[in-house]
Amino acid sequence: MPLLTLFRSLTFLLSFFVAIASGLAAEDRPNIIYIMVDDLGYGDLGSYGQKEIQTPHLDRMAAEGMRFTDHYAGHTVCRPSRLVLWTGQHVGHTGLTGNRPFSLTGREQTVAKLMQQAGYATGGVGKWALGNVNAPAEIDNEGHPNRNGFDYWYGYMNQSNAHNYYPPFLWENDRQDFLPGNVLMDAPNARGRVSKKKETYSHDKLTEAALDFIQRNYRSPFLLHIHWTIPHANNEGGRVLKDGMEVPDYGIYADRRWPNPEKGFAAMITRMDADVGRLFKLLKDLSIDDNTLVIFTSDNGPHREGNHDHEFFDSNGPLKGYKRSMHDGGIRVPMIARWPGKVAAGTQSDLPSAFWDFLPTACEIAGIEAPDGIDGISYLPTLLGKTDSQQKHEYLYWASQEGETSIGIRRGPWKLVRYRKDRAGKADWRLYDLRSDIEEANDLAATHAEQVQEILSLVERDGLPLATQAKR
């Protein structure tokens, strides 16, 4: 028996006995679906102010649930943001501050592993990015999703391949699922990440895998991560692709007098939105809609890649900056939570929260203890409308190797950003009051030096870095 198959079998048995010991009936424990898309900006949804791109199903989700206005990703780029989500620790403790190669070891207490041990069926589709699995011979790699809490995984393993929407194959657990009609280009500067023949769109395969997982597991509690790659650009094909916004058709935007990359960007989002509608229809058809919390968010701010310009649709909305920026445009992201009968419809929260809060939230929902040593705080009280009992962060912290800004800190309404280039030999810290300056246009560091020092003192007290090296 392959080691990975044996590992999954033993994990299932452990989950079964833990579920019995907990004394919780399956029907008492809600399902959790966490949808995270890739490079979607704060202003890309209608419920967050978008005027051109149509997102009717996500707008309805917001009308039927809670819209978070002050939610933050784990980082300004993909891989470290996902690590934060899985582990409940911010980057000051994960140590991953850029998109460098990184693999989980199989020993981390991921949210999937914790839920699996509590008896949940655990599944994921989309971009993994935290393991180095290139071929079937590497299926026992410790960074494999099946080694880190997922009973089932379908999608991309390596981040470097995850932005080709027409790959020759996707991974289903430990096997390669070859996609009909997709053939890679062999040009040297395509780096194996651009296809010359394109027939099977990966996003559609990811969606079908997610819906199939629900249909297989809806009779018992499940955790499902849907990590769609839309609307990330296929920007890894060097000069081969002039348009990195790969989509089968432009749909309702075909006749718009927009550049093709902008048509593709809009079509991607609306296509993804339609699949959100399919998801909610399935939950209702299976009569599990009222017992399922669905969260929707993005892994970081909007991109300016693949010949798409983030300003074309005002993707960052009122925020300053975009992907790789420590300004809010790079890290503040839309988050919508829907849970009929539990989350009040049409509500909004300005609770400052972040990706590292999901792990303790999921644990509290499942009725299990979150592990020690995490940075997250459960936002379940806010979801349930019990704001008086909601604990709050003393501050939120990010550090980055990428872009011109290296540190971001939010404390209450105050936002502190460090630029990589110093002014006159001194650290270039810039302070903003988000209550009156959501655009982060007015630097108050000089007039509120005491506020800067208070924030820095808290970070120093906790032993977190106040500078990072630029990525080489």
Kindly indicate the confidence band of residue 15, based on its pLDDT and cuts at 50, 70 and 90. Answer: very low
Quote the pLDDT of residue 133: 76
Kindly indicate the confidence band of residue 1, based on its pLDDT and cuts at 50, 70 and 90. Answer: very low
Quote the pLDDT of residue 159: 86
Q: pTM of the predicted model, to two decimals? A: 0.93
Q: Does the structure show a pLDDT above 70 at 439? A: yes
Q: Does the structure show a pLDDT above 90 at 248? A: yes
Q: What is the 3 state secondary structure string of the chain?
A: CCHHHHHHHHHHHHHHHHHHHHCCCHHHCCEEEEEEECCCCCCCCHHHCCCCCCCHHHHHHHHCCEEECCEECCCCCHHHHHHHHHHCCCHHHHCCCCCCCCCCCCCCCCHHHHHHHCCCEEEEEEECCCCCCCCHHHCCCCCCHHHCCCCEEEEECCHHHCCCCCCCEEEECCEEEECCCCEECCCHHHCCCCEEECCCCHHHHHHHHHHHHHHHHCCCCEEEEEECCCCCCCCCCCCCCCCCCCCCCCHHHCCCCCCHHHHHHHHHHHHHHHHHHHHHHHHHHCCCHHHEEEEEEECCCCCCCCCCCCCCCCCCCCCCCCCCCCCHHHHECCEEEECCCCCCCCEEECCCEEHHHHHHHHHHHHCCCCCCCCCCCCCHHHHCCCHHHCCCCCCEEEECCCCCEEEEEEECCEEEEEEEEEECCEEEEEEEECCCCCCCCCCCCCCCHHHHHHHHHHHHHCCCCCCCCCCC
Instruction: Among 126-135, 140-149, 342-351, 428-437, name the one with the lowest average pLDDT.
Output: 126-135
For 392-410, the pLDDT digits (tens) are: 999 999 999 999 999 999 9
Task: Find out whether 409 and 416 touch, Cβ atoms under 8 Å.
Answer: yes
Burial 21-39 (b: 16+ CB within 10 A, else e): eeebeeeebbbbbbbbbbb
For 138-167, the pLDDT digits (tens) are: 666 899 999 999 999 999 998 888 999 999
Measure the CA–CA gap between 445 and 278, rounded to whole angstroms. Answer: 48
Tokens read off for 206: 């990811």
Instruction: Identify the bridge partners of residue 349 per DSSP, sorted by sequence position.
Output: 68
Q: Phi and psi at residue 413, in whole multiples of 5°?
A: -85, -5
Quote the pLDDT of residue 141: 83
Higher pLDDT, 134 or 263: 263
Tokens read off for 452: 């800067």
* pLDDT (average), residues 25-52: 92
* pLDDT (average), residues 199-217: 98
Kindly indicate the confidence band of residue 12, based on its pLDDT and cuts at 50, 70 and 90. Answer: very low
Instruction: Identify the bridge partners of residue 178 per DSSP, sorted by sequence position.
Output: 169
For 257-304, the pLDDT digits (tens) are: 999 999 999 999 999 999 999 999 999 999 999 999 999 999 999 999
Task: Find out whether 193 and 183 touch, Cβ atoms under 8 Å.
Answer: no
* pLDDT (average), residues 319-333: 98
Higher pLDDT, 42 or 17: 42
For 374-390, the pLDDT digits (tens) are: 999 999 999 999 999 99
> For all residues of the chain together, what is the average pLDDT?
92
Measure the CA–CA gap between 252 and 255, rounded to whole angstroms. Answer: 8
- Which amino acid, 300? N
* pLDDT (average), residues 165-193: 90
Domains in the chain: ranges and CATH: 3-394 (3.40.720.10), 404-461 (3.30.1120.10)
Q: Does the structure show a pLDDT above 60 at 237? A: no
